[in-house]
Chain A
Amino acid sequence: MRGTPEHELVERCRNGDETAFRELVEQYKGLVFAIMARSVAEPARAEELAQEAFLRVHQGLPYFRGEARLSTWIYRIVANLLAQERPDLATVSLDATFDDSDEPRVQPGADDRAFGDMMLRDRLDKAIRRLPVPYQVLVNGHYLKGLRYEDLAEALNMPMGTVKTHLHRAKRQLRHLLETEFR
């Protein structure tokens, strides 16, 4: 990551250095905003939530002791804010096996327009917003690059070894949603 080393930046922020906090915002705003905007359809609300995330960072910095990486802590704040925004999608049972009754009865050669037309991107966006929030953050964070498996695991309180499995489950749910509700 470019710019000032993390611990130095945190220290300067803690001492009330406004330039340092501005630098911190500049450094993380891309990922924070992107994750919010991917999960919240309304752009103004996404911006408000992304700003709120940095406000919480600012409030929490005096208590941030550096046990976690700064980025991990920020993504956890983002995930918590999104969970508050969508309480109906706040959790996913981490050891639940996928319910196979959701499996659409697709026959070979059936109408494949769900995956064939130009609107797929749009429907994919909508389908992602229907996933449990941790899965939204997982899929969006993973594909936005910049977020490592370790960051995602820590931010979402998932055991490191299960991140890949959950990513597959999230995408499997997406495939099922696109087959059934977002055709």
Chain B
Amino acid sequence: MRCEELEPIIEGLADGTADPGAEARAHLAGCALCTRRGSQARAIHELLVRREAPAPPPGFTAGVMARVQRQRWRAERAVDLGFNLAVAAGVLLIVAGGVGLAWSLGLLRIQANLAVLLEAGARLGGRVAPQAQTIGVAGLLLTMALGLWWWAEADSSF
């Protein structure tokens, strides 16, 4: 047996997990190079066995929990932002609907002239009254959106 054939199994010999066989044992007994490699491998193995595991610092778990909280808070903020944007879009839609409605009723033709505007304001009540149903639905939608928002806020802050 040559040294190069023995070299790849030196680690197995050193940690006792490989059986070298009679031929290898005979070579080892008479070879200074392989004996030296074997003792180096054994020194490494023994040092690895003896090494103490580094312990985590005292505040480790608290640090993890704080980071988990921060992460949750950030996620909630993203959800909140999305929700606020959705509510704003809803409000905008309702306002646009109202403006459209007013336009279709001819209320917006009274621009600019303040006196006419005030006069029109008085008439507005009477003209909007028939549209009470539409305005009611819009109001209901807004209330539902705000309610949903409140519910999401309450649910995500456990």
- Show 17 A/B contacts (Cβ-Cβ < 8 Å), sorted by A: A21-B65, A21-B68, A29-B61, A47-B57, A54-B68, A55-B67, A59-B71, A107-B33, A108-B33, A115-B39, A115-B40, A120-B43, A168-B8, A168-B12, A171-B14, A171-B15, A179-B40
- Given known contacts A30-B55, A37-B54, A171-B41, A51 and B67 CB-to-CB distance under 8 angstroms: yes
CA distance A108 to B11 in the complex (A): 18
Q: Are A121 and B56 in contact, CB atoms less than 8 angstroms apart? A: no
Q: Are B4 and A100 in contact, CB atoms less than 8 angstroms apart? A: yes
* A63 shortest CB reach to chain B, Å: 15
Q: Are A175 and B68 in contact, CB atoms less than 8 angstroms apart? A: no
Chain A residues within 8 Å of B44, by CB: 124, 171, 174-175, 178
Q: Are B36 and A108 in contact, CB atoms less than 8 angstroms apart? A: yes
Q: List A96-117 residues whose CB lies under 8 Å from chain B.
A: 98, 100, 103, 106-109, 112, 114-115
CA distance A38 to B10 in the complex (A): 24
* A6 shortest CB reach to chain B, Å: 19
CA distance A148 to B57 in the complex (A): 25
Q: Chain A: interface secondary structure? A: helix
Q: List A26-52 residues whose CB lies under 8 Å from chain B.
A: 26, 29-31, 33-34, 37-38, 46-47, 50-51
* B63 shortest CB reach to chain A, Å: 6
- Given known contacts A21-B68, A172-B8, A175-B11, A112 and B56 CB-to-CB distance under 8 angstroms: no
Other A-B pairs, 14, CB within 8 Å; known A25-B64, A115-B40, A171-B44: A18-B65, A22-B65, A30-B53, A33-B56, A34-B53, A34-B54, A51-B60, A51-B64, A59-B71, A108-B36, A167-B11, A171-B15, A171-B48, A175-B40
User: Is A144 on the interface with B (CB-CB < 8 A)?
Assistant: yes
Q: Chain B: interface secondary structure? A: helix
Set A50, A55, A169, A172: member contacting B68, Cβ < 8 A: A55
By beta carbon, the residue of chain B nearest A58 is: B68
User: Is A16 on the interface with B (CB-CB < 8 A)?
Assistant: yes
